[in-house]
Amino acid sequence: MNDERTTLGDLQRFFRAQLAALRTFVAHVGMGGRLFARTVKTAFTQRFDGKAYLQQLDAMGVQSMNIAVATAIFVAIVMTLQFGIFAERYGAKLALPRSIGVAEARELAPALTSLIVGCRISAGMAAELGSMAVTEQIDAIRALGADPVRRLVVPRVAAAMTIMPLISVFAFVIGMASALGIAWTTFGIEPVTFVNAALQAVSLSDFLQGLAKTPFFGMLVGVVGCHFGMGTRGGTVGVGKATTQTVVAAAITVLVADAILTQLFVTAE
């Protein structure tokens, strides 16, 4: 009897915890949606802070370049080795540059790079804005009659939307160069042959479809980072918690958005 009561109590606590998590999720989606709407409205109705935008663009580019390069290189190496073994097994070596080219253009460069870089960018936003929130700097901006969305959110979201396509193109070039090196040294595919086969397989439509998703990823991770950052409470512990939540939320948001956008593009073809 005691064991049954213990099991029942554990189940009740489990379901209460899941219900609380669901309520928190819905609340964050609602508040994030309101912040997104305010950001769009503010961007088109108030003066754009160009100086803050350029500062954020510079900071995000510097912060993101190393991790983007590392991601592009090692993902390309792993994918080339995996595809290469499969292609060599069936005597279709030229399928390697073709498959790698299409994969890089459509998904690896835009989506995977945006996932990694987006988590880094949004975490930085959450930490910075969270520190401002717990030290009441955001309240001070409001007290001075300024709009914190215009001063803090719009420049960051705009910078994220700008930097994501640029990093995606850079990651595509780095990834293809890394794949070429592995294909040449490991599978004996000449660089000229690799480039020609990749160019034949990758169309402009493939490249543009991947690139078109990146501004949306930038917008979403920017809103997520600003939402959790500006809502930070509880001192330094709250800043750490907000940063952790931001990384998880940004990753899930990018993955869900990628699935939806990919489905839309595939349907439109």
Q: How many CB atoms lie within 10 A of CB 216?
A: 17
The mean of the pLDDT values for the chain is 89
CA–CA separation, 36 and 240 (whole Å): 23
pTM: 0.88
- pLDDT at 216 (0 to 100): 95
Enumerate residues 6+ apart whose C-beta is below 8 A from 21: none
Identify the pLDDT of residue 93: 84
* Extents of the domains making up the chain: 47-268
Q: CA-CA distance, 173 to 101, in Å (whole number)?
A: 10
The CA distance from 152 to 140, in Å, is 13
**Chain centre distance of CA 114:** 4
| Separation CA 217–CA 212 (nearest Å) | 10
* 3-class DSSP state of 48: coil
Q: By CB neighbour count within 10 A (0-12 exposed, 13-18 middle, 19+ buried), where does 269 fall?
A: exposed
**CB contact set of 241 (below 8 Å; sequence gap of 6+):** 232, 234
Cα–Cα dist 179/177, whole Å: 5
Q: What residues in the chain have per-residue pLDDT under 50?
A: none
- What does the pLDDT read at residue 8? 65
Residue indicated by tokens 């160019």 = 199
Cβ-contact 43, 155 below 8 angstroms: no
Helix orientation angle between 2-45 and 204-230, rounded to the nearest 10 degrees: 110
pLDDT value, residue 92: 83
pLDDT in tens, 166-208: 999 999 999 999 999 999 999 999 999 999 999 999 999 899 9
Q: Where are the alpha helices (DSSP H) in the chain?
A: 2-45, 50-89, 95-103, 113-134, 137-143, 148, 154-187, 191-201, 204-230, 235-268
